Amino acid sequence: MRIFIGGAGAVGYQLTKMLVHDNHEIVVIDIDADSLEALANSYDVLTVNGSITSFSVLKGAGIKNADLFVAVSRELETNITACILAKRLGAQKTVARIDNSEYLLPMNRSHCISMGVDALVYPQMLAAREIVNLLAQTGTSEVFNFSQGMMSLYVIKLNENAPIINKSLNDAAHIDDSLLYRAVAITRDGKTIIPRGNDTFQIGDVVYVISNQKGISKITQYSGHQKLSPVNIMILGGSRIGVRAAAVLESTANIKLIEIDKAKCFELTDLLPDSLIINGDGRDTEMLRQEGIEKMDAFIAVTGDSETNILTCLQAKTMGVRKTIAAVESLDYINLAETVGIDAIINKKLIAASYIVRFTLNADVTSFMSLTASDAEVFEFIVRPGAKVTKGRLRDINFPKDAIVGGVIRNKTAFIATGNTHVKANDRVVVFSLPSEVNKLASFFN
């Protein structure tokens, strides 16, 4: 596929990183020559220095031959305009990054489509949605839902209380024969592996588990974590992510939102009528104590400063908060934040890039996520009639060795896949894969 990426900032860089090994022809356009040089030094891509809203730049780059044009600059107006121009100049599909939720309203979205913008990506909304999902699952650093939650992938760090520590996958399977969940991968010492029956679980392992709705409580039990139903939640930062998360959560929980900007606090009071808005500096430990942080079930730090988010989450942890979530803008800080004890990391740029990648896959992919803690990726495919994956049991069709089918949604039933599972046409199949196998997957589901 010939892919044009408009913008070499953090989202453009991450998107390039995720796509460059999939045999795509990638062209990155940006007005900042230094950003393009840094990208070209890291990856084998073609770069074009110029504005993505320039007719001559787009024509000169060969936009008429684009299968996909993705505009991910920092400016909403620039992205919308660039997509309109790219579509008129011959691009097959266009995707724009936005930072204003009104564009997602049905009528406004239809206007965008009529002008040539095929899809919109709102990173702040995607990040807020992930925060809400994470709060429902204790011990989970990431959670991805498929088919309206009928099947989910949970990313769980094992602690010393987990009953499966030092047990092999085969041994762990005998603890419970109900087959409501399946461990599909383990990240250990920065390396992600697809485990086999004799591989053992160790303290500190990050385990990727596919489960249907019935298996959620058992996953919590075997990971060594206690179930948490957060009632009191403190949010640091009145950012778009913080506001969207609070708007969803305030109907079921007591929300305290701390914002350092006094004028913004008055605006938030109108936006969040059922939340308590506090004007203060979240780095002030005494202020946090006065606001009852020790009674909080969860602490969410979503200011625009990664260091502040990391440090305040660590402080909250020492003060007894059971669940901490930090927004980390710098991709370089993600591994650090995960190793120091923060329960979950949110990076809206990575989430946005993952969402966009689905448009590049030559198969019916309804969901796709690149995982924060590893290079692995998880897909939800719709199986086409006659696809290779339907030709026999999973153990018999030579499925890629570093990819694994975790679960299947058939009609209104979700079940865990095994080697004896026979996938059928129109099934929705959740697949976990290392990057080395992504290219092979589409051929099994087309």
Q: In this predicted model, what pLDDT tens digit does every residue of 6-22 receive, in sequence order?
A: 999 989 998 998 888 77
| Residues 311 and 369 occupy one common structural domain | no
Tell me the DSSP string of 150-212.
TEEEEEEE--TT-TTBT-BHHHHHHH--S--EEEEEEEETTEEE---TT-BB-TT-EEEEEEE
Using 70 as the pLDDT threshold, list the residues of the chain that sit under it: 136-142, 173-179, 213, 215-228, 331, 338, 361-375
Among 288, 349, 347, residue whose Cα is nearest residue 314: 288
| Residues 429 and 357 occupy one common structural domain | yes
Does the CA dihedral 169-175-177-179 come out positive or negative?
Answer: negative
Domain end: 97, 121, 145, which one? Answer: 121
Q: How many CB atoms lie within 10 A of CB 179?
A: 13
- The pLDDT tens digits of the residues spanning 286-300 come to 999 999 999 999 999
Among 27, 33, 37, residue whose Cα is nearest residue 2: 27
| Residues 8 and 115 occupy one common structural domain | yes
Q: What are phi and psi of 355, to 5 degrees?
A: -65, -40
Q: What is the CATH number of the domain that holds 405?
A: 3.30.70.1450
Domain end: 121, 150, 184, which one? Answer: 121
| Residues 281 and 361 occupy one common structural domain | no
- Residue 357 falls within a domain, yes or no? yes
Q: Alpha carbon of 181 to those of 134, 220, 392, 428: distances in Å?
A: 18, 11, 22, 17
**Number of domains, the chain:** 3
Q: What is the CATH number of the domain that holds 39?
A: 3.40.50.720
pTM of the model as a whole: 0.74
One-letter amino acid for residue 353 of the chain? A
Domain end: 321, 343, 360, which one? Answer: 321
- The pLDDT tens digits of the residues spanning 185-231 come to 888 877 888 887 788 888 888 888 888 767 666 666 666 665 667 89
Q: What are phi and psi of 113, to 5 degrees?
A: -65, -40
| Residues 298 and 389 occupy one common structural domain | no
- Residue 8 falls within a domain, yes or no? yes
- Residue 169 falls within a domain, yes or no? no
Q: How many CB atoms lie within 10 A of CB 381?
A: 26
Among 369, 436, 376, residue whose Cα is nearest residue 152: 369
Q: Which residue range is the domain that position 374 belongs to?
A: 352-445
- Residue 233 falls within a domain, yes or no? yes
| Residues 317 and 356 occupy one common structural domain | no
| Residues 8 and 105 occupy one common structural domain | yes
- Say how far apart CA 305 and CA 328 lie, in whole Å: 8
Write the burial class of residue 196 (CB in 10 Å: 0-12 exposed, 13-18 middle, 19+ buried).
Answer: exposed
Q: What are phi and psi of 333, to 5 degrees?
A: -90, -10
